[in-house]
Amino acid sequence: MTVLVCITRLQPPHKVVRTLEADHLQRIIMKFQLRNTAADSLMAAHQTFVRLTNQKTRREIIFVAEVDSSNTYTFDLDVGSREKEFGYLSGQYTMELIVGDAVIQNPLSWIFVSSNHSTIFVMHTFRVADKRPSTFISNVFTVMVLLPLLLPFWWMKIGVNVSNFPLSLSAIGFHVGVAGKTHIFHSQQLMF
């Protein structure tokens, strides 16, 4: 398991300088705090969201940032489990923090990162079909394969006396041996 850690500290209106990449096996975790400059203390806002927008399709996905007891907001995105919400789209995404509350005079809308969210693109390719022979060649092959089945009927027509064939073990062995050697020869195996 590889762990890639990218820690960046930012303050509005600065942006992340480099492009961040996340695939379906990674997570994007963001922690931030809101500070009341008049009282110089941490505060919690009622509406805190992180919006990811695909730069090509302009499709937006909005997530809620959760606050804990120490007024630290956490945004944890498991990219693989949320691929359906992304519509399985790869590409460049902008990441924006949106903060609003009744006590905040100026709500915050801050685009702070462009992220390259990539999903695996699976392309199924099938083997190209083999070139088929012409109809004439196919028909000639079929006739040649079926021709040995007509051999017994041809023997009866010309009057071959098959009923006097000796059924001894040596006669059957001889004919099976000749047929076996012929088969081995025609299947391009070694005869000896």
> Do the strands 47-54 and 60-64 form a parallel or antiparallel pair, or are they unpaired?
antiparallel
Q: Where in the chain is the domain with CATH 2.60.40?
A: 20-117
Q: How many other CB atoms are found less than 10 A from the CB of residue 183?
A: 10
154 in Cβ contact with 147 (< 8 Å): no
Residue-by-residue pLDDT tens, the chain, 192 positions: 344 456 667 677 667 766 666 777 778 888 888 888 888 888 888 888 888 888 788 888 888 888 888 888 888 888 888 888 877 777 777 888 888 888 777 888 878 776 554 555 667 778 888 888 888 988 888 888 778 778 878 877 888 877 777 888 998 898 888 888 877 777 765 544
The CATH number assigned to the domain with range 20-117 reads 2.60.40
* 39 closest CA partner among 71, 14, 68: 71
Q: Are strands 20-22 and 108-117 parallel, antiparallel or unpaired?
A: parallel
Reported as type and span, the H/E element at residue 173 is helix 169-186
- Residue 166: how many other CB atoms lie within 10 Å: 9
Confidence (pTM) = 0.51
Cα separation, 179 vs 188, in Å, equals 14
43: which residues sit within 8 A by CB, 6+ positions away? 34, 35, 36, 71, 103
